[in-house]
A and B are shown apart, each in its own frame.
Chain A
């Protein structure tokens, strides 16, 4: 663990470097390997050669989206884990991704929406809806919201939304074609405009989360202590929940439901910097971006020349980790 602030800052810069390297590799490697020089040329002084077009329209958006989505999912996970005091909390497990996906498919089926802006809004509303349902279900009962109840309710809600989505897709094959690319959970084939259309939400949520970090630290001490220290805990919780919905919903709007990033990354970040969220959140941002880009690069090679949706890669990495945490016990 990095104990002093100086070491943490050095760590932060190393991760920035790693993130840049991972994005760089994401641009260069793939079915068409390009070189370092070509990539530079394509970015600074583009001509209309095949390689330049690939880099500018396919690889660059992919690397940027990978970084942004990975960062947001990881932050959403960290905030959820702090809010619920549950080490298994993440947008995927809690049905938030599935809720966003369901609402998009529902509206594509019945209202023929196709604009990106509407997709984003729908994803946000769906994410909020799922979050509310899960929170309500898991807080009924005598002892209120326990980590276990939250996890199980989330899984049930996720299953429900997933199967409803499946039903809609079977009923409407046209919609299937439109949303299948998106539903698999992938950062490939997205245009840069998709990222730009959700960037405002991302930016608001990122900055908001960083600003809220000290309050999250206090919240982590438990409701009673936080109240005793003069915090309006319900206000803070609500804000955190809104941030989570913004982060997860926008990520789903761009890349579809990608699981497990939100579980793994906060644990890695905490292993480096402990539980101080002023450090955990920035580390999550960087590590999340790195992990998603690395998984995405792996997804290109595992079945060459075919590409695997990155959601599958993250599941392969994430499940062993999930099981490890589940074995260690979530009630601590």
Chain B
């Protein structure tokens, strides 16, 4: 039995599909759907998964339709996209920097995006608290923030090349700086924005509406597609500088492109779901355990795992202490920080 199946679309795109990866992604897809349905069904009013499917297909009761469509679905869809984006961003970074500890949070991107979002809300609100420019610009703002932070970290960590350790340390520093800026901006801005921002910074999909979904969805889908068709570049980047140059790629250009791709993904996720931490670190690792490190298989698996993680965190946050809501970011950090420590422990012993 062959391990790989070639998969071609036209002459441009061809991917070797790993059978194990196909099976793993398929199972993960089922899990994602299951979590999606359970999450949609749970809450103050329980709706069984079967009824959820009925409702989604348009044959549920009116009450169920209201609960699902106007309250639950938007936040779950946002959680789904945010999880996918963060996980893929993390996978790209880990491959490019060739360091298992790289992730959007560690490199300060998340906190950079947070500063951008808070300043966006502070700068462009009028006295009545409504925004003076369209909220459609928010992901772009977050993207710029994430890019600036990532750029700062990268440049400051550069000293005849970038060592992973320096990158992580400088990332810690830049994150602290960005957090200070965020707090400062929250103090300058209107009070009600501050309490809003406080929940959001921890990472929460609380209170999102379809409007935000329709802004994030195209952004995330487009970027995820671009990531999928760039897997070849990622695979080559992971071989290391010499081999990549030897293989004939223009290394720095590709690296810049991939870096921008991951900051854009992070920016979109952070703009609407806040700083949900550690997803970009954990999901790619788990995915690599499942399907190995070839990006064709890794990206979809990581994306699904990221989606499951964030949706589960949201589910737990909503239901564990109901009617209180705990931001999803608290739970991802509660799992993620020990995981980070575990990785640290493992990587130092190898």
Binding site for B on A (CB under 8 A): 88, 93, 137, 140-143, 146, 148-149, 151-153, 155-157, 159-160, 163-164, 166-167, 170-171, 184, 259-260, 303, 306, 308-309, 311-312, 315-316, 318-319, 322-323, 326-327, 330
Q: Which residues of A contact B345 (CB under 8 A)?
A: 137, 140-141
Which of B29-37, B60-68, B256-264, B319-327 faces chain A? B319-327
A308 touches B170 (CB 8 A): no
Interface residues of B, count at CB 8 A: 42
B337 touches A303 (CB 8 A): no
Q: Which residues of A contact B330 (CB under 8 A)?
A: 163-164, 166-167, 170
How far apart sit A164 and B337, CA to CA, in the bound complex (Å)?
A: 11
How far apart sit A1 and B166, CA to CA, in the bound complex (Å)?
A: 29
Q: Which residues of B contact A330 (CB under 8 A)?
A: 169
- How many pairs, one residue from A and one from B, have CB atoms within 8 Å of each other in the complex? 116
Q: Which residues of A contact B331 (CB under 8 A)?
A: 167
Could you jot down 22 A-B contacts, CB within 8 Å? A88-B169, A93-B172, A142-B349, A149-B344, A152-B344, A156-B337, A156-B338, A157-B337, A159-B277, A160-B333, A163-B337, A164-B330, A164-B333, A167-B326, A170-B325, A260-B176, A303-B188, A315-B177, A315-B180, A319-B174, A319-B180, A326-B170
B170 touches A323 (CB 8 A): yes
Kindly state whether residue B334 has any CB partner on chain A within 8 Å.
yes
A170 touches B202 (CB 8 A): yes
Partner of A163 from B165, B183, B321, B333 at Cβ < 8 Å: B333
Further pairs besides A159-B340, A306-B188, A323-B156: 7, Cβ < 8 Å: A93-B172, A163-B277, A163-B329, A171-B326, A306-B187, A315-B179, A322-B173
User: With A141-B349, A163-B329 in contact, is A322–B341 under 8 Å at CB?
Assistant: no
Kindly state whether residue B199 has any CB partner on chain A within 8 Å.
yes
Partner of B348 from A141, A156, A160 at Cβ < 8 Å: A141
B177 touches A156 (CB 8 A): no
Q: Which residues of A contact B166 (CB under 8 A)?
A: 326-327
A319 touches B337 (CB 8 A): no
B173 touches A167 (CB 8 A): no
Q: Which residues of B contact A323 (CB under 8 A)?
A: 156, 170, 173-174
Q: Which residues of B contact A184 (CB under 8 A)?
A: 183
CB nearest neighbor in B for A140: B345
How far apart sit A27 and B7, CA to CA, in the bound complex (Å)?
A: 74
Kindly state whether residue B184 has any CB partner on chain A within 8 Å.
yes
Q: Which residues of A contact B325 (CB under 8 A)?
A: 170
B170 touches A164 (CB 8 A): no
CB nearest neighbor in B for A160: B337
How far apart sit A142 and B327, CA to CA, in the bound complex (Å)?
A: 38
Q: Which residues of B contact A303 (CB under 8 A)?
A: 184, 187-188
How far apart sit A167 and B330, CA to CA, in the bound complex (Å)?
A: 6
User: With A148-B165, A315-B180, A319-B177 in contact, is A156–B344 under 8 Å at CB?
Assistant: yes
Q: How far is the CB of B203 from chain A (nearest CB, A)?
A: 9
B334 touches A153 (CB 8 A): no
Q: How far is the CB of B156 from chain A (nearest CB, A)?
A: 6
Q: How far is the CB of B169 from chain A (nearest CB, A)?
A: 4
Kindly state whether residue B168 has any CB partner on chain A within 8 Å.
yes
* Contact string against A for B residues 109-141, beta-carbon threshold 8 Å, 1 for contact and 0 otherwise: 000000000000000000000000000000000
Partner of A312 from B170, B183, B333 at Cβ < 8 Å: B183
A170 touches B327 (CB 8 A): yes
Q: How far is the CB of B340 from chain A (nearest CB, A)?
A: 5
Q: How far is the CB of A58 from chain B (nearest CB, A)?
A: 19
Kindly state whether residue B159 has any CB partner on chain A within 8 Å.
yes
Q: Which residues of A contact B344 (CB under 8 A)?
A: 149, 152-153, 156
* Contact string against A for B residues 89-112, beta-carbon threshold 8 Å, 1 for contact and 0 otherwise: 000000000000100000000000
User: With A88-B169, A152-B168 in contact, is A167–B202 under 8 Å at CB?
Assistant: yes
